[in-house]
Amino acid sequence: MLLKIDKVSKIYGEGDNSVIALDNISLDFNAGEFVAVMGSSGSGKTTLLNCISSIDKPTKGNIYFGERNLLKMNDDELSEYRAKHISFIFQNYNLITNLSVYENIILPLQILGKSIKENQNNIEKVMEELGISKLKSKFPNQLSGGQQQRVATARAIANSTDILIADEPTGALDSSNSENLMKLFKDLNKKLGLSIFMVTHDPLAAKFSSKVIYLSDGKVIDILMKYKNESEYEFLEKIIEKQKSIDEGVI
Ligand SMILES: Nc1ncnc2c1ncn2[C@@H]1O[C@H](COP(=O)(O)OP(=O)(O)O)[C@@H](O)[C@H]1O
Ligand SMILES: [Mg+2]
- pLDDT tens-digit profile of 53-71? 999 999 999 999 999 999 9
C-alpha of residue 42 to centroid of ligand 2, in Å: 7
Phi-psi region of 206 (alpha: psi -120 to 50; beta: other; left: phi over 0): alpha
Cα separation of 36 and 130, whole Å?
Answer: 21
- Give the max Cα distance, the chain: 55
Stated pTM of the model: 0.89
Buried b (16+ CB within 10 A) or exposed e, 207-219: bbbbbbbbbbebe
pLDDT for 100 beyond 70: yes
Q: How confident is the model at residue 178 (pLDDT cuts 50, 70, 90)?
A: confident
Q: Which residues surround ligand 2, an ion (CB under 5 A)?
A: 46
C-alpha of residue 138 to centroid of ligand 1, in Å: 34
Name the closest ligand to CA 42: 1
Phi-psi region of 216 (alpha: psi -120 to 50; beta: other; left: phi over 0): beta
The verdict on the CB of residue 108 being under 6 Å from ligand 1 is: no
Q: Which atom of ligand 1 is nearest to the CA of 44?
A: 17
Tell me, rounded to whole angstroms, the distance of Cα 61 from its chain centroid: 21
The verdict on the CB of residue 131 being under 6 Å from ligand 1 is: no
The verdict on the CB of residue 44 being under 6 Å from ligand 1 is: yes
The verdict on the CB of residue 12 being under 6 Å from ligand 1 is: yes
Over the stretch 30-57, which tens digit does the pLDDT of each residue have? Answer: 999 999 999 999 999 999 999 999 999 9
Which residues does 187 contact at the CB level (< 8 Å), separation at least 6? none
Tell me, rounded to whole angstroms, the distance of Cα 157 from its chain centroid: 11
Phi, psi of 66 (to 5 degrees): 60, -125
Q: Which atom of ligand 1 is nearest to the CA of 56?
A: 1
